[in-house]
Amino acid sequence: MNRNKDLYKRFVTFISSILLLGMLTGIFAFVWYRNYSEEIILPYYRRGNWVLIAIYCLLVWLFFRAYGGFKLGYLKKTDMLYSQMISMICVNTVSYFLISLIGRHFMSVSPVIVMSCVDMGVIALWTLLAGRLYFMIYPPRKLVIIYGSHQAAALVLKMSQRVDKYMICESISITEPAEKVRELIMKYEGAIVCDIPAEQRNDYLKFCFEHSKRAYIAPKISDIIIRGADDIRLFDTPLMLCRNYGLDFEQQLIKRTFDVIFSLIALIPAAPFMILAAAAVKLYDRGPVFYKQKRLTLNGREFYVYKFRSMIVDAEKDGKARLATEEDERITPVGKILRKFRVDEFPQLLNILKGDMSVVGPRPERPELTEEYKKEMPEFGFRLKVKAGLTGYAQVTGVYDTTPYDKLKMDLMYIENYSIRLDLQIILMTIKTMFFPPKNNAEIDENVLAPKFTEEKKENSR
């Protein structure tokens, strides 16, 4: 029964998204005909109006796709609401300037403001009702976790925060007999496979495939590299090619051109905020406005990254590199505001123009911290296959306390799946993150874990 339901899941999501898109487009059409269509110098006749309404519909679709506004059942309700709100603000701002361009002067902005308020009400109602309907049809999946070590506990805790999607009913160690593990997989809708040897993982993955059971896998570094491989069809034996050198020449050229154009344009709206930030930093304690620090970029090359100073003067006077924490006592009150909205990073637009950094890429890390990470994670240097970035995939999908190893995986996912489209999506997601910062991974009571998993964890910690 559940398997048959899953066949229609995308269709249900599609229909609900079309309904929302239709309502938002209809609201714009009403506002256009009522307030603007007759006010422009040369009013359109039918098709011109239809084309403008179609452009608005396309803009809504593009921004909602970029921010995940149509991901019903995938994002949390609050996250989806934030995504839709910022999407509508972007769409309606662009639409107002488009209307003004057509009208050849700045048109009245009040209808667009009223339209935006109505849009917010519609998307809030849609999120609430569509979300309820979706979870009535598709309740949380009942899963079993197959684990190799207690490092899997972190993943279980994270998945347990999404009780609307996942219900981890039982857990079993990989040391148990294979027959027992298979019986347990058949008992539930899917399995989470985490931190187990590759050979056994492959066996259980094939078993899940054979019996049409969902498999949630925590990827290893090698899995991420393979995901970026190209198929070779020269022979009757399938081959996959992992190039393993980062971006090719054409990609580097396109990326560099995009970086220069973007940073030059971004400096214009950023300039007033940079002036205010510089004044606030200087007035607070009369210390230096800027702070520079040695970081690593492409192929391990060292460079100095520029920031507005957000910490007290001589924050590392002992000479030891220390990672900043969210409640770090060295951060000044002004610095907290700058960090919250990422304004302290704005001077790095100059690093981008110099060619030390890119707009999107792995965040630049300090040489000494990189060496420390390499002791635990020899693969940490893999992220230096591309230039360091002002923002990155790990920054828009991770949270403040995401582990360095998980961030490394995200950085490698970006490198292996690079495209200009992905860069644009990450830039848009960065704007959302500035206004709606992701919350830290909350502490979850161990009672949400399967009893056996919790019992064994306590036993090993004694």
CB atoms within 10 A of CB 333: 9
How big is the CA angle at 296 (ends 320 and 301), to the nearest 5 degrees?
Answer: 125
- With beta carbons less than 8 A apart as the criterion, state whether 440 and 400 touch: yes
Q: How many whole angstroms separate alpha carbon 195 and alpha carbon 150?
A: 9
pLDDT tens for the 462 residues of the chain, in order: 455 566 677 788 888 899 999 999 999 999 999 999 888 777 777 788 899 999 999 999 999 988 888 888 777 888 888 889 989 999 999 999 999 988 888 899 999 999 999 999 999 999 999 888 888 888 888 999 998 876 677 787 888 778 878 888 888 999 899 999 999 999 999 999 988 888 899 999 999 999 989 999 988 899 999 988 888 888 888 899 998 888 989 999 999 999 999 999 999 999 999 999 999 999 998 889 999 999 999 999 999 999 999 988 877 766 566 666 666 778 899 998 998 888 999 999 999 999 999 999 999 999 999 999 999 899 999 999 999 999 999 888 877 668 888 899 999 999 999 999 899 989 988 888 877 766 654 333 333 334 344 444 434 333
- With beta carbons less than 8 A apart as the criterion, state whether 402 and 433 touch: no
pLDDT of residue 364: 94
HEC string of 310-339 equals CECCCCCCCCCCCCCCCCCCCECHHHHHHH
Instruction: Give the residue from 158, 164, 160 showing the smallest Cα distance to 137.
Output: 164
- With beta carbons less than 8 A apart as the criterion, state whether 408 and 219 touch: no
pLDDT of residue 3: 55
CA dihedral for 118, 124, 128, 131, sign (positive or negative) = positive
pLDDT of residue 6: 66
pTM over 0.75? The answer is yes
pLDDT of residue 38: 84
Residue ranges of E strands in 70-183: 141-147, 166-173
Residue type, 379: E
Q: How many whole angstroms separate alpha carbon 155 and alpha carbon 46?
A: 55
To which residue do tokens 């495209």 refer?
A: 419
Give the phi and the psi of residue 279 in degrees, each rounded to 5: -65, -40
pLDDT of residue 448: 34
pLDDT of residue 321: 63
pLDDT of residue 32: 93
Residue ranges of E strands in 149-196: 166-173, 190-194
pLDDT of residue 47: 82
pLDDT of residue 218: 86
